[in-house]
Amino acid sequence: MIYTVTFNPSIDYIVDVDHFQTGMVNRTTGEHVLPGGKGINVSIVLKNMGHESRALGFMAGFTGREIEHLLAASQVESDFIDVAEGMSRINVKLRSDQESEINGQGPAIRASDIAKLYDKLDQLGEGDFLVLAGSIPDVMPASSYEDIMARLEGRGVHIVVDATRDLLVNVLKYHPFLIKPNNHELGEIFGVSLSTKEEVIPYAKKLQEMGAKNVMISMAGDGGLLITEDGQTFASMPPKGRIVNSVGAGDSMVAGFLTGYIETADYENAFYTGLCTGSASAFSEELAKRNEVETLLRSLGR
Catalytic (active-site) positions = 251
Q: Which residues neighbour 208 within 8 Å (Cβ) at sequence distance 6 or greater?
A: 214, 215, 227, 229
Beta bridge mates, 81? 58
> What are the b/e assignments for 268-279, b being 16+ CB within 10 Å?
ebbbbbbbbbbb
Q: Which helix (H) or strand (E) holds 187?
A: helix 183-190
The packing angle between helices 249-264 and 38-48, to 10°, is 50
Length of the chain: 302
Q: Are strands 158-162 and 178-179 parallel, antiparallel or unpaired?
A: parallel
Q: What is the DSSP letter of 21?
A: -
> What are the b/e assignments for 183-222, b being 16+ CB within 10 Å?
bebbbbbeeeebeebeebbebbeebbeeebbbbbbbbbeb
HSE-CB at 49 with a 13 A cutoff on CA atoms is 32
Instruction: Let me know: does 183 contact 200? Beta carbons within 8 Å.
Output: yes
The packing angle between helices 267-282 and 290-299, to 10°, is 110
Longest Cα separation, the chain: 58
